């Protein structure tokens, strides 16, 4: 069973479930785990070096997006919770020009190249899973302005702790 910890989390889960299903520890040899690894890597697309995500229209996100803090006029901290793919408890987004045409992840409005948008900040060479998402600057500004009248804890050093939800995943429909 010591090889379980070298596998990805899904394979670990399958191995643990198999161990509860009446298999003896001797049944769980290296060949068994190799079979699990081959099956899960083919299903996840890992054999091609990339996990495929289901295609969807931008703006149709299942994510619940919350503005946590306005760090500066051009940066905000968001939480992005998508039950179908990812979860970022705190993610810094920065304002800039859209590098390509797309759709706003919150409003679904069309975004033209060069238009002012917020995007997730890239750390190092790895892009976040939601790295291609964009939110129109006007949506962020409007959300921050609408929550400005509400008293918030932690207003210090010019930073605004907002905690306002700007996209509720449950509204996205049955795909979520």
34-85-72 Cα angle (round to 5)? 130
Q: Find the Cα–Cα–Cα–Cα dihedral 35, 37, 43, 49, rounded to 10°.
A: -140
The answer to whether position 59 is within a domain reads no
State how far the Cα of 17 lies from the Cα of 121, in Å rounded to an integer.
38
pTM over 0.95: no
Percent of the chain residues past pLDDT 90, beyond the cut = 27
Residues 140-173 have pLDDT tens digits of 988 877 765 444 444 444 444 555 667 665 444 4
Please check whether residues 39 and 75 belong to one and the same domain: no
Please check whether residues 84 and 6 belong to one and the same domain: no
Please check whether residues 70 and 43 belong to one and the same domain: no
The answer to whether position 54 is within a domain reads no
Q: How many domains does the chain have?
A: 2
The answer to whether position 76 is within a domain reads yes
Please check whether residues 40 and 88 belong to one and the same domain: no
State how far the Cα of 159 lies from the Cα of 155, in Å rounded to an integer.
6
Please check whether residues 89 and 156 belong to one and the same domain: yes
Q: Which domain holds residue 85?
A: 64-172
The closest of 84, 152, 142, 95 to 120, measured between CA atoms, is 95
Token digits of residue 157: 């050093």
């Amino acid at each position: 069973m010591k090889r379980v910890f070298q596998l990805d989390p899904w394979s670990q889960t399958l191995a643990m479930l198999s161990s509860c299903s009446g298999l003896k520890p001797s049944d769980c040899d290296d060949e068994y785990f190799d079979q699990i690894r081959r099956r899960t890597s083919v299903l996840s697309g890992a054999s091609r070096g990339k996990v495929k995500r289901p295609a969807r229209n931008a703006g149709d996100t299942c994510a619940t997006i919350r503005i946590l803090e306005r760090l500066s006029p051009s940066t905000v901290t968001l939480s992005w919770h998508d039950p179908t793919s990812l979860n970022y408890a705190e993610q810094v987004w920065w304002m800039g020009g859209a590098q390509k045409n797309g759709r706003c992840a919150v409003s679904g409005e069309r975004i033209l190249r060069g238009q002012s948008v917020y995007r997730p900040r890239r750390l190092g060479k790895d892009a976040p899973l939601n790295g291609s998402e964009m939110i129109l600057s006007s949506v962020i500004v409007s959300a921050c302005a609408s929550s400005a009248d509400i008293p918030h804890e932690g207003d210090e050093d010019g930073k605004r702790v907002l905690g306002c939800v700007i996209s509720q995943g449950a509204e996205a429909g049955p795909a979520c």
